[in-house]
Amino acid sequence: MVRKGIKILFIVLFLFLLYSSGYLTFEKYRTGDIISRQNMISDTIWKLQQDGYKKEDILSIGINYSWMKSQTYETAVMFKDEPDVTYYYFWNKKSSSIEQGGYSGKATKHKTF
C-alpha cells in the first residue's frame, strides 16, 4: 500500500516538473531571453543618452520581442513632448549598434532617419 502511494507521488511530481519545464520554455519563446531584453533596454538608454536625451525627456521605454520575425527585439520609446508618437529602436548587426528604425504616429521632433 505504501509503495503504491510513493509511485503516485512520483508520477504527480514528474508530471508537475514536465508541465513546469514546458511552460517555462514556452514563456522564453514568447517573451525572449531576460538577459537579452535587459541588454537591449540598457543599450537603448545608452544610445538615447549619447543623442543628448535626459531621463526627464522620456515618458516610457518598453521592449517588444517577436519570435516569429527571426527572434528580434525592438525597443519602443515615447517622449514627454510627443506622447502620441512611439519611436522604435533595433539592434543593427552590421554596425553593432542601436538604431532608430521606425515610428508610429506623426513624428516631428525625434526622428533620426
Cβ-contact 58, 79 below 8 angstroms? yes
**Strand ranges across the sheet with 58-66:** 58-66, 72-79, 82-92, 97-104
List the one residue out of 31, 61, 68 whose CA is nearest residue 46: 61
Please report whether residue 110 resides in a domain: no
| 26 and 38 inside one domain | no
Judgement on whether residues 69 and 95 belong to the same structural domain of the protein = yes
Kindly report, residue by residue over 23-47, the tens digit of the pLDDT. Answer: 988 887 777 888 888 999 999 999 9
Length of the chain: 113
Same domain, 55 and 20: no
pLDDT grade for 69, boundaries at 50, 70 and 90: low
Query: What is the span of the domain harbouring residue 23?
Result: 1-31
* CA-CA-CA-CA torsion sign (35, 41, 44, 50): negative
Number of domains the chain is built from: 2
Same domain, 52 and 73: yes
Q: How confident is the model at residue 71 (pLDDT cuts 50, 70, 90)?
A: low
| 81 in any annotated domain | yes
- Residue 88 placed within a domain: yes
| Residue at 112 is within a domain | no
